[in-house]
Every structure is written in C-alpha cells, then in structure tokens.
Amino acid sequence: MAEKSHAEQFQSVFPNRLVYAMALLFMLLGVLNSMPTIPGWDDMWRGVTGIEKLKVRSFATEWFYPIIFFIMMSVVALKHSMWRAWQGTGRAGFGLFMDVALVVSAFTISLTYLIEIDSVCLIDALNGDRARLIAETLKAEIAFADEMGLPAPDTVEDPRCVSTTGVWLVAIMGLSMLVFLAYNIKV
C-alpha cells in the first residue's frame, strides 16, 4: 500500500480541522446564546475580563444572526468545497470560483442585513446620521410631551435607515440566491 505524500495529507487534514473548529465555534455560540440565567454567571465573566458591559448570553439577534449565518455558510464552503472535489480536472477553476462566490455571497447578505435592518442601520451608525436622527426625534418627542403636559421620554423608537442599499438590494439577493442554488446542486 502506497503512503500518502505530505501534500496529500495536508490537503485532507487542513480543511477538516478548520471545518471542525468553525463548527465547534458555531455550536458554542449557539449554546451561549440560548443559555438560561445562571446566578452570578454574567458577573463572573465581567469580573474575569474586566469588561463591564460584556454580554455572555442572549445576544442581540440583529447582530447574532448575520454572524452565525456567515459562519454556517463558510463551514458549508469548506466542507463541500467544489475546488477540492474537482482538483485535477478541468472544472477546478470553476469550483474555486463557486467556493469563493458562496463565502462572498454569505458575507454580502450578512452585511446587507446589518445595513437594512432599522435596529442597526450600519451605514447610518458609521456616518453619524443615526445618532443625529435619534437626537432630533427625541428632541421633538420631549417638546411634544412638554406641550401636552406628559412626562418627558428618555428614549425613542428606532428611526428608519437613511442610507441603505436601495435598488441594489434586488441584485444582491438575486445573485446570492443563484449562487446558493448552484452550490446546493453540489451539496
């Protein structure tokens, strides 16, 4: 029986170890997110890390879901790599393109989600429009409450996003769906 060369062993070991590490991270994040309240658990981790606002469980879904989706799709791309499956054939280049397209599509959808959802509005948060909108809305609500003799509010609902992907949302979703469906044929 012929022994595998060092390169062949690396090709079979490297992606599997990375897949298992990412799958373990995926699983641990899911367990942490759904962990019930344990008295002293949050305080223990805040004391260990020194981060007062550390959130150890029940993560904000608007940030948690896109990150988990990206990790999940990266695991799929590594585990079912078209490039590795078609290595040595004429289709290997197309396989590499599809692997990269799947990861890029997952990243693009995750980023688009963060840009479009009103509770995050990533572009508005980065360019300062979100803080300005919240301040203006709060100022108007306080003025209205004073006028009506109501108690002054200290928060307002999330304003709609000003800077979004606009008409590009259809193209982003359409191309990503094509990549996912094409990759689904392989998987």
Q: How many CB atoms lie within 10 A of CB 97?
A: 13
CA pair distance 52, 109, nearest whole angstrom: 32
Q: Which has the higher per-residue pLDDT, 41 or 110?
A: 110
> Can you spell out the DSSP letters for 120-182?
T-HHHHHHTHHHHHHHHHHHHHHHHHHHHTPPPPS--PPPPPSS--TTHHHHHHHHHHHHHHH
Of 51-65, 75-89, 92-106, 138-152, which one has max mean pLDDT? 92-106
- pLDDT attached to residue 110: 97
